[in-house]
């Protein structure tokens, strides 16, 4: 009978291979989208920098919405797959289900599904600011995948990221409703909105 330690080591090797392939797929997909923006449309440095900032907040909001409304929808194939990640965290199989996708083609599909509306805007307005969006989204995804892995499987994280790792692990431990993985910007906004709505409801009921 294969011991848990052997299974754990095998799954960690498998998970690291999946993570490497996902990161390569993200880098390649993002680079293609940036190249399309710069090659076929006019651009400016200021526009690219503005697009970079926009892409960062877009990536954070997309991560939150995907996690909350799709992966925790309570039904559907994506939700079922994500629940495997939750249910196996303490098992020797955990590393197999930590990565965003088990197949790099899923990462490619993610990038081009998110890139499609921005390419449409690029076609309409003929401005290369979307290059910044695609670059930012790529960097965000790479950081997300790496930090998520290290939060669950161990590995060095700078001190300023350790609270972010704890934020995500609380999501698993107590089902806190925290859906941003490492940078809880939309979690904070949504939490403030829920608090304001609840306070308004309480005052209305008085």
What six digits make up the tokens of 190? Answer: 């949504």
Write the pLDDT tens digit of every residue in 30-46. 999 999 999 988 888 99
Residue 126 CB neighbours (<10 A): 11
Check if the beta carbon of residue 111 is closer than 8 Å to that of residue 29.
yes
Q: Please report which confidence band the pLDDT of residue 193 belongs to, taking 50, 70 and 90 as the band edges.
A: very low
Single pTM value for the model: 0.88
Residue 53 backbone phi and psi in degrees, to 5: -65, -45
94-109: pLDDT as tens digits: 999 999 998 999 999 9
CB 111 within 8 Å of CB 23: no
The DSSP 8-state label assigned to residue 74 in this structure reads: S
197: pLDDT confidence band, cut at 50, 70 and 90? Answer: very low
pLDDT in tens, 116-142: 999 998 888 887 789 999 999 999 999
Domain ranges (residues) in the chain: 4-156
Q: What is the pLDDT of residues 158-177, one digit of tens each?
A: 888 888 888 888 888 876 67
Residue 200 has pLDDT above 90, yes or no: no
Contacts of 164 (CB under 8 A, 6+ apart): 147, 151, 182, 183, 184
Q: Which is more confidently placed, 57 or 206?
A: 57
Percent of the chain with pLDDT over 90: 57
**DSSP-derived secondary structure letter, 121:** H
61, 96, 141 from 134: Cα distances, Å: 15, 28, 11
pLDDT of residue 176: 64
Instruction: Check residue 20 and give its pLDDT.
Output: 96
Instruction: Name residue, tokens 């003929």.
Output: 126
Q: Is the pLDDT of residue 50 over 70?
A: yes
Q: Is the dihedral of CA 179, 185, 188, 194 positive or negative?
A: negative
């Amino acid at each position: 009978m294969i011991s848990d330690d052997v299974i754990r080591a095998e799954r960690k090797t498998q998970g690291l291979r999946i993570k490497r392939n996902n990161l390569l797929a993200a880098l390649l997909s993002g680079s293609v989208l940036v190249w399309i923006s710069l090659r076929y449309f006019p651009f400016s440095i200021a526009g690219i920098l503005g697009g970079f900032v926009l892409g960062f907040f877009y990536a954070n909001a997309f991560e939150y919405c995907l996690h909350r409304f799709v992966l925790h929808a309570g039904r559907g194939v994506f939700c079922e797959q994500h629940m495997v990640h939750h249910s196996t965290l303490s098992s020797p199989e955990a590393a197999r289900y930590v990565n965003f996708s088990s197949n790099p083609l899923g990462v490619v599909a993610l990038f081009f599904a998110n890139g499609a509306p921005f390419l449409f805007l690029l076609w309409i307005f003929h401005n290369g600011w979307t290059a910044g969006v695609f670059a930012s989204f790529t960097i965000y995804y790479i950081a997300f995948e790496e930090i998520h892995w290290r939060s669950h499987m161990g590995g060095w994280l700078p001190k300023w990221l350790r609270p972010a790792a704890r934020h995500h692990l609380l999501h698993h431990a107590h089902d806190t409703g925290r859906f941003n993985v490492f940078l809880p910007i939309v979690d904070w906004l949504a939490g403030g909105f829920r608090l304001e709505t609840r306070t308004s409801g309480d005052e209305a009921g008085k």
